[in-house]
């Protein structure tokens, strides 16, 4: 007779007869996967938002020319722009237009306020390279030399608390994912132990017939993998539904800050890979649990 692979053939499916959805494990895994996907999406979205903020305004400075005399203000503004443009490491320096300034102050002073009525500072936005941004004092000196009434604001200063919050939330989401992975592993350990107890007599018979620990472990691995696959897919679908709903609401809000937390393409790939990782984790944990338990038998 020809010897095949190390399995139980067609009877293997029937050796552990409980249906795939007979126990609570698939549903517990579904809940875990749902929360894991949401936490991961939260973390990936925040990471994307942080990166977007950093790329857009993280190395930007705003120069204000606070001068009551309009002619002097205009002269110093031009000198400041010229000074900035001469500096190596300044990516761009542009004067904020009068229209944009009027739009900025409109919520406080209303429309139709003439420059002559209220002396509004001239403003210049400049994007710096990270290297120059690290030496912002030299930029301030150069601007001050050209425009004595200039005041340099580093956007990173007011972004810092927000960046810290985003960073903390990102770590929180990572911690949540790790906790979910741990809880899922613990669930699988409990399920594997329960399955071992349920099928102890069958295992003993197989053992005494010369079945190896790996052969027996594979029976459980297969069953637990099917349960985990079902639970993972249910959790994933539910989580994707929630994410799409949240995405729609955010778009309706039209918030630039919230909108910057969009999930990039690679984040969706990571989220889709989570069920696969969940099944692999369940199989690995089940295998180790079963092998450890079987090692106590002779």
Q: How far apart are CA 180 and CA 171, in angstroms?
A: 14
**Token duo for residue 231:** 């639970």
Q: How far apart are CA 87 and CA 97, in angstroms?
A: 22
Min separation Cβ 296 and other proteins, Å? 10
The residue within the footprint of other proteins, chosen from 6, 103, 153, 197 (CB under 8 A), is 6
Min separation Cβ 206 and other proteins, Å? 6
Closest CA to 7 of 215, 152, 276, 261: 215
Q: How far apart are CA 80 and CA 125, in angstroms?
A: 11
The residue within the footprint of other proteins, chosen from 62, 198, 202, 262 (CB under 8 A), is 202
Closest CA to 228 of 197, 184, 270, 198: 184
Q: Does 298 bind other proteins (CB under 8 A)?
A: yes
Min separation Cβ 29 and other proteins, Å? 24
The residue within the footprint of other proteins, chosen from 56, 215, 260, 262 (CB under 8 A), is 215
| In contact, 94 and 125? CB cutoff 8 Å | yes
Q: Does 201 bind other proteins (CB under 8 A)?
A: yes
Min separation Cβ 26 and other proteins, Å? 20
Q: Does 226 bind other proteins (CB under 8 A)?
A: no
**What binding mask, one character per residue, do residues 149-188 give for other proteins by CB under 8 A, x or -?**
----------------------------------------
3-class SS of residue 118: coil
* Burial class, 288, CB count within 10 angstroms (exposed 0-12 / middle 13-18 / buried 19+): middle
Q: Does 206 bind other proteins (CB under 8 A)?
A: yes
Q: How far apart are CA 115 and CA 112, in angstroms?
A: 9
The residue within the footprint of other proteins, chosen from 53, 211, 228, 236 (CB under 8 A), is 211
Q: Does 141 bind other proteins (CB under 8 A)?
A: no
Beta bridge partners of 36: none
The residue within the footprint of other proteins, chosen from 82, 208, 253, 272 (CB under 8 A), is 208
- Which CB atom, from 193 or from 207, has the smaller least distance to other proteins? 207
Contacts (Cβ under 8 Å, ≥6 apart) of 231 = 25, 26, 27, 28, 29, 30, 32, 33, 278
- Which CB atom, from 12 or from 89, has the smaller least distance to other proteins? 12
Chain residues 10-39 in contact with other proteins, contact rule CB under 8 A: 10-12, 14-15, 17
Name the residues that contact other proteins, by CB under 8 A: 1-12, 14-15, 17, 201-202, 204-212, 215, 295, 298
């Amino acid at each position: 007779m020809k010897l095949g692979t190390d399995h139980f053939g067609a009877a293997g499916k029937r050796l552990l007869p409980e249906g795939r959805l007979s126990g609570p494990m698939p549903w517990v895994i579904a809940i875990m996967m749902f929360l894991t996907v949401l936490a991961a999406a939260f973390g990936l979205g925040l990471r994307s938002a942080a990166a977007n903020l950093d790329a857009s305004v993280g190395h930007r400075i705003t120069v204000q020319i606070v001068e009551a005399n309009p002619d002097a203000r205009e002269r110093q503004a031009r000198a400041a722009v010229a000074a900035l443009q001469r500096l190596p490491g300044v990516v761009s320096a542009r004067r904020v237009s009068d229209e944009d300034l009027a739009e900025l102050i409109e919520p406080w002073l209303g429309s139709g306020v003439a420059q002559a009525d209220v002396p509004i500072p001239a403003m210049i936005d400049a994007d710096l390279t990270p290297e120059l941004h690290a030496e912002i004092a030299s930029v301030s000196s150069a601007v001050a030399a050209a425009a004595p009434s200039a005041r340099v604001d580093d956007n990173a200063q007011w972004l810092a608390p927000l960046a810290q919050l985003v960073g903390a939330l990102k770590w929180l989401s990572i911690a949540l994912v790790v906790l979910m992975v741990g809880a899922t592993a613990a669930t699988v350990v409990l399920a594997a132990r329960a399955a071992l107890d349920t099928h102890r007599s069958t295992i003993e018979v197989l053992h005494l017939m010369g079945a190896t620990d790996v052969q027996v472990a594979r029976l459980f691995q297969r069953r637990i993998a099917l349960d985990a696959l079902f639970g993972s897919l249910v959790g994933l679908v539910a989580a994707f539904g929630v994410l799409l709903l949240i995405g729609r609401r955010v778009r309706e809000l039209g918030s630039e800050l919230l909108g910057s937390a969009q999930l990039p393409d690679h984040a969706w790939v990571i989220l889709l890979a989570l069920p696969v990782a969940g099944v692999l984790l369940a199989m690995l944990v089940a295998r180790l649990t079963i092998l450890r338990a079987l090692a106590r038998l002779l």
